[in-house]
Structure formats: structure tokens, C-alpha cells
Structure 1
Amino acid sequence: MADVSPIDLQKALKGAQYPASRDDLVSLARGNGADDSLVQKLSGASTDRFDGPDDVQKVAFGNG
């Protein structure tokens, strides 16, 4: 998955409360049934904390 759509990311992170740690978002995404490749990209993000969904899109996925 080179890019993730904002809709897929929104579904994966439904219920997230920001700021949030990378580990919390990875667990939430798994619990929300996110695609494995989305979870892997999120877990490999270069930061440990995200201020909001736009931050996740930009930092973890390089778009948005």
C-alpha cells in the first residue's frame, strides 16, 4: 500500500483521542480491522506521538 486513503485511515482510527501515541493508534487500528499494510506503516512511523488525523496522514503515510 503506497498510499492510504483518508477514508481508510479514518475508519482505522475511529474513536482515537488525540494527542495519541503511535502504539495506541496501532492497537486501535488493529481493533478496528484495519488492513495489515496500514497497520505496518503506522507502526513504522517516525514519531511516537500524533496530534491529530492529519498528522498521522502526513507523518506515517507521507500524504494528505
Structure 2
Amino acid sequence: MADISPIDMQKALKGAEYPADRDDLVALAKKNGADDDLVERLSNSGTERFDGPNDVQKAVFGD
């Protein structure tokens, strides 16, 4: 897997409104031109709903 920076994630999720469903964030990331690896990690995060960017970061990057 390619390295994904928190800045890449912020760019991919620019314009997100929270709380947000995973599928909505995946669609937004694709629309914003996110790296395929980031989209895949988000899609496979196992989290259905995110309350904010910190939740997304934990799901994508781990603790």
C-alpha cells in the first residue's frame, strides 16, 4: 500500500459535512480525486458513520 498522508486525506475529504456515512465520504473522496489506496482504506474501514475528521483518521490510519 502506498503511503497516505493526513494532508492527502484532508484534500480528499474537502467539503465533507459531519456526521457522515462512509459511502458518502467514499463518493466525495473519489470526486475530489483521491488516491485509489485512500479510497480503498476508507471503503474497507469497517466504520459505517463518522462524527468528524478525527474518526476518519483513526479508521484510515489506525491509532
Give the TM-score of the pair, scaled to structure 1.
Answer: 0.89
Unaligned runs of 5+ in 1: none
After TM superposition, the structure 1 = structure 2 runs for residues 13-28 of structure 1, keeping only pairs within 5 Å, are: 13-28=13-28
Percent identity, aligned pairs only? 71
When structure 1 is superposed on structure 2, of 1-10 and 12-21 the one drifting more is 1-10
Q: Conserved in 1, the CA contact under 8 Å of 2:19 and 2:52?
A: yes
Q: For structure 2, list consecutive stretches of 5 or more residues without a partner in the other structure.
A: none
How many residues are paired up?
63
Distance, in Å, in 2 between the alignment partners of 1:29 and 1:47 is 16
Runs of 4+ in 1 over 2 A off after TM superposition: 1-4
**In structure 2, how many angstroms separate the alpha carbons of the residues matched to 1:46 and 1:38?**
14
